[in-house]
Structure 1
Amino acid sequence: MDATDRRLVGALRENARASWAELGRLVGMSGPSVQERVRRLEEQGVISGYQAVVSAEAFGLSVSALVDLYQSDDADGDDIVDQLRDILEVEDCWYVAGDENYVVKVRAADVAGLESVISKLRRVRGVSRTRTTVVLATNWEGRSLPAVVEPPDDDESASVGSES
């Protein structure tokens, strides 16, 4: 990815509905050229999709929690992940290093709904136990990737670590 690709990705992260012409103005290219670049970035897997960011509260999901899942010794991790995909309240799933094996982010309407989700998670074949952290407030979510930031100029990077 060159600097133009990085600017395009940054612009799309801010507004994925921007027109080709608008994106072109931002990076100094024609609309069709931008469209071709974005298509190439999609094919390379740099851009893996587009989605609407919606308010969970608008859908009545005011309770969020992070749930640690501990895998039993004889469990198949792929089977656990497949079962987690079927639990609609699971928004994100991470395989992690540490005492727990997975951390999932879940959303529910209320505490009773959260209790129901935790019960579903405990019934997942291969999960030996859970530990839940209830989110009290969300300061931010979906922060932009640092890779979108412009790399330093060659002159700047050449001077890093050089003797003065």
Structure 2
Amino acid sequence: MTEPADAQPLDDIDRVLARELVADGRATLAHLASTAGLSVSAVQSRVRRLEARGVVSGYAARIDPEAVGSKLSAFVAITPLDPSQPDDAPARLEHIPEIEACYSVAGEDNYLLLVHVESARALEGLLQKIRTAADVKTRSTIILQKFYSDRRYIP
């Protein structure tokens, strides 16, 4: 995540709008106006400004991995086999659909992947695919048992 040069804190009304949009990205301007105590045109102007500043960066559906057959989710820590080679693992892995996210991390590992697969056997196959595609070693794999929260950042 990069910090825009013109980063500034949100005022109370922008914070209300951001919370409502996080809760429901399809909230109508009328609903947002009612919640914020503003006119529809004032809310529309504020939402556009939040979008232009990069505070609100998109509206998207969230897919439940289990609902589409991916019953097993895991974090996979990866490290290059040869640290002298280019650090291009994210680009080399972006074609693998089972990888939901790739985070650059500090510490012994270089990246932490969030993956979704159908089974333990499928996870083993995916780990091999990751190792081969990105020339990395998978240092640790943490299988997620229960999701307690699907929180979105709200300032």
- State the TM-score, normalized to the length of structure 1: 0.82
- Mapped pair 1:90 → 2:99: yes
1:47 counterpart = 2:62: no
Give the alignment's Cα RMSD to 1 decimal.
1.4
Taking the aligned partners of 1:114 and 1:99, their CA distance within structure 2 comes to 22
State yes or no: 1:119 paired with 2:128.
yes
Instruction: Give the aligned partner of residue 19 of structure 1.
Output: 28
Q: Distance in 2 between matches of 1:146 and 1:45?
A: 14
Q: Structure 1 residues 126, 75: closer, same or farther in 2, change over 3 A?
A: farther
Confirm or deny that 1:33 pairs with 2:42.
yes
Matched letter for residue 73 of structure 1:
P
Q: Give the share of equivalent positions with the same residue, in percent.
A: 34
Query: Which residue identity is paired with 2:78?
Result: L
Give 5+ residue unaligned stretches, structure 1. 148-164
| Match of residue 101 from structure 1 | 110
TM-score normalised by L of structure 2: 0.87
For the residue of structure 2 that corresponds to 1:124, the secondary structure is helix
2:140 paired residue number: 131
Match of 1:159 in 2: none
The total of aligned residue pairs comes to 145
Q: Is the 8 A contact 2:76 2:142 kept in 1?
A: yes
Q: Unpaired segments of 5 or more residues in structure 2?
A: 1-9
Question: Which runs of structure 1 show a deviation greater than 6 angstroms over 4 or more consecutive aligned residues?
Answer: none
Contact 1:75–1:126 (CA<8 Å) still a contact in 2? no
